[in-house]
Amino acid sequence: MNPDLREKFAAAAQQGRAAFVPYVTGGFPDADTCLELILALDELGSEVIEVGIPFSDPLADGPTIQLSSQKALEAGATPAKVLDTMARAAAKTKAALVTMTYVNPVLAMGYEEFARRASGSGVSGVIIPDLPPEEAGQWLQACQTHGLDPVFMAAPGTPMERLDRILAVGGGFLYYVSMDGVTGADLELGPERLAAMQRVRARSSLPVAVGFGVATPAQAAALAPVADGVVVGSALVRQVHQAKTPQEAVEAVRGLAGELRQALLVR
């Protein structure tokens, strides 16, 4: 059995914290450094680590993650290789691992085969932003067969009845997209936005992790009281882009991630 996602959120809550959910792009800057990044993020106490399987046309991603995906693909990343990296990481990590990708690479492998391999690689849940519940019939079945949590998203414009339908089929946690926008966009955390998050959380039977645009410890601190978890992607990937060496990348990510996790203490 791979780590239980809900237990990870519950454990963070017990320590009076929102769970820390950092994202890295699989195979970026290269497979070995990506593995080191995952291990470093685990070491500093991340509850869940999200690893992207790069896709050529990532609709929901902004320039930072799009470019990291393009570079990873140029460096030879494939779904199988990223899952292999995750398997190597899972052997050593305490954190639960989830993967985020797009539906076409999953379809190319086949829903059933992808779920089997992901589960076998230590993956607890899978996020597919362009696979909404109405198209997910076969995928849900494959997840059930292989003990994977299908993680779905909700957005600020999601009506409550739709939210209920998403929650009814989703597993692990609910990924709440903080704003209308792509990953890495500027996030403003006004009172209305925070109130909307609270409403979703109050309605949700699953832990709610908020992501998209979270870049600073101040933002993480503002989100911690209204969310069960906070996802940070582009801000970390940017550190990797800016680093001159793989070692520098690992250190820079470790530094920012440590501060972000620290900021998630609620009490």
Say how far residue 66 (Cα) sits from the centre of its chain. 15
Of 159, 191, 205, 244, the one binding another protein by CB under 8 A: 159
* Backbone φ, ψ for residue 43 (5° rounding): -60, -35
Shortest separation between residue 247's beta carbon and another protein, angstroms: 29
Residue partners of 202: CB distance under 8 A and separation at least 6: none
State which residue, 11 or 80, has the beta carbon closest to another protein: 80
Under rule CB under 8 A, residue 209 binds another protein: no
State which residue, 181 or 258, has the beta carbon closest to another protein: 181
Say how far residue 114 (Cα) sits from the centre of its chain. 18
Distance CA 87, CA 181 (A): 32
Cis check: omega of the bond before 29, within 30 degrees of 0: yes
* Backbone φ, ψ for residue 53 (5° rounding): -95, 115
Site for another protein in 30-49 (CB under 8 A): none
Contact 206, 174 (CB under 8 A): yes
The gap between the terminal CA atoms of the chain, to the nearest Å, is 32
Under rule CB under 8 A, residue 161 binds another protein: no
Under rule CB under 8 A, residue 75 binds another protein: no
Distance CA 209, CA 204 (A): 11
State which residue, 24 or 128, has the beta carbon closest to another protein: 128
State which residue, 105 or 258, has the beta carbon closest to another protein: 105
**Which residue matches tokens 């379809």?**
107
Q: Which residues are marked as active site?
A: 50, 61
Residue partners of 251: CB distance under 8 A and separation at least 6: 243
Of 13, 87, 107, 265, the one binding another protein by CB under 8 A: 107
**Which residue matches tokens 């929901």?**
60
Per-residue interface string for the shown chain with another protein, residues 109-128, x marking contact by CB under 8 A: x-------------------
State which residue, 135 or 248, has the beta carbon closest to another protein: 135
Per-residue interface string for the shown chain with another protein, residues 162-191, x marking contact by CB under 8 A: x---x----------x--xxx--x------
Under rule CB under 8 A, residue 251 binds another protein: no
Q: Contact positions toward another protein, by CB under 8 A?
A: 55-60, 62-63, 66-67, 70, 73, 78-80, 102-109, 129-132, 134-135, 152-159, 162, 166, 177, 180-182, 185
